[in-house]
Structure 1
Amino acid sequence: MKKILFLALIFINMSAFAQMDSSENTPTQLVKEFFKAFHAQDTVTLKKFAHDGARLESVSIDAEGNTKLTTDNYSKFLKNIASIPAEATFEERIHEYRVEENGSLATVTTPYTLYFNGKLYHCGVNSFQLVKFNGEWKIVYLIDTRVKEGCD
């Protein structure tokens, strides 16, 4: 009887942990789902991932070698994604996910290479700033770098 009770407790605990892992909302999971929706041009889903007022910035180097910072709001990003022609192909290949999490704040950094119509377009690093609101991670700020050289 003790063995049966012991085995039952083990299975219950394993089941509880399995459910917790599969439904867990993590910063990495949010960013992975973001890129799935991005590649599908699913702006409705992309909108759900961001907090109202989320900001986007890009750092690049202009023709004269000066650092340029471009700022946009998330709604403009969504319009840009929706305006990509259906016949165009694009893929942002993520090389790794670096995560730093502290309570309700997380940073997910993702080095990437972007291909447009099968050709290298640029590469860089994305840095997602996430905040957990009511148990759900949301993007509040996204900044990336964009370079065209050294994209090995």
Structure 2
Amino acid sequence: MRFFYFFLIFSIGFTGFSQSKEDSAKAMVQAFFKAFHEQDSVKLKTYAFEDVQLKSIAKNAKGKMVINTDSYEEFVKSMTTIPAEVDFEERLGLLEVQTDGYLANVWVPYEFYLNGELSHCGVNNFQLIYTDKAWKIISIVDTRKKQACQD
């Protein structure tokens, strides 16, 4: 009987300290952006699942909505080619996370600054899959607006 109580208390202790799936999904996206700002291609590659695509939704010069698609590999490669004298920063808003077992959706507004000037803003939407006790990116869709970011 003492073993049972010990096991129960031991289990409750670990449950209280374990990170929820929502928290771990949020932490993974935050780690992604840390690696993004550090231009760390090795870390960025570890966050991806198979065949990740990035899609950006924006208005073209004629005001028509368009979707641009890029591979995650091209994105990672492009990060390594940004010159050191170019200062970029993606400032994140509040991350909202929804999970359902092995699927998570992370929604985060952002403002993107290039050399200290606001370049564009929008929302990043990460779709994640939970595998091998870690979240991996299966898709990223973002919106890009040049006008005021309160729209």
TM range (shorter): 0.7 to 0.9
1:79 Cα deviation from its structure 2 partner: 1.0
* Counterpart secondary structure, 2:106: strand
* Whole-angstrom distance in 2 between the partners of 1:19 and 1:151: 38
* Counterpart secondary structure, 1:63: coil
* Whole-angstrom distance in 2 between the partners of 1:148 and 1:25: 31
* Whole-angstrom distance in 1 between the partners of 2:44 and 2:79: 10
Confirm or deny: 8 A CA contact 1:56 1:73 kept in the other structure.
yes
Kindly provide the amino acid, as one letter, of the partner of residue 25 in structure 2.
P
Kindly provide the amino acid, as one letter, of the partner of residue 81 in structure 1.
M
1:137 Cα deviation from its structure 2 partner: 0.5
Unaligned runs of 5+ in 2: none
For residue 43 of structure 2, what is the aligned residue in structure 1?
Answer: 45
1:26 Cα deviation from its structure 2 partner: 1.3
* Counterpart secondary structure, 2:19: helix
* Whole-angstrom distance in 2 between the partners of 1:76 and 1:145: 19
Deviations 1:47-85 (A, max 9, x none): 100112111110110111101111111000001111111
For residue 135 of structure 1, what is the aligned residue in structure 2?
Answer: 133
* Counterpart secondary structure, 2:147: coil
TM-score (norm: length of structure 1): 0.86
Question: RMSD of aligned C-alpha atoms?
Answer: 2.3
Unaligned runs of 5+ in 1: 1-5
Kindly provide the amino acid, as one letter, of the partner of residue 96 in structure 1.
L
* Whole-angstrom distance in 2 between the partners of 1:93 and 1:14: 37
For residue 3 of structure 1, what is the aligned residue in structure 2?
Answer: none
For residue 29 of structure 2, what is the aligned residue in structure 1?
Answer: 31
1:15 Cα deviation from its structure 2 partner: 5.1
Equivalent in 52, 55, 71 of residue 54 of structure 1 = 52
Higher-Rg member (1/2): 1
> After superposition, where does 1:1-152 map in structure 2 within 5 Å?
16-17=14-15, 19-21=17-19, 26-152=24-150
| Equivalent residues, number | 145
1:25 Cα deviation from its structure 2 partner: 6.8
TM-score (norm: length of structure 2): 0.87
* Whole-angstrom distance in 2 between the partners of 1:56 and 1:104: 20
* Shift >6 Å, 4+ stretches: none
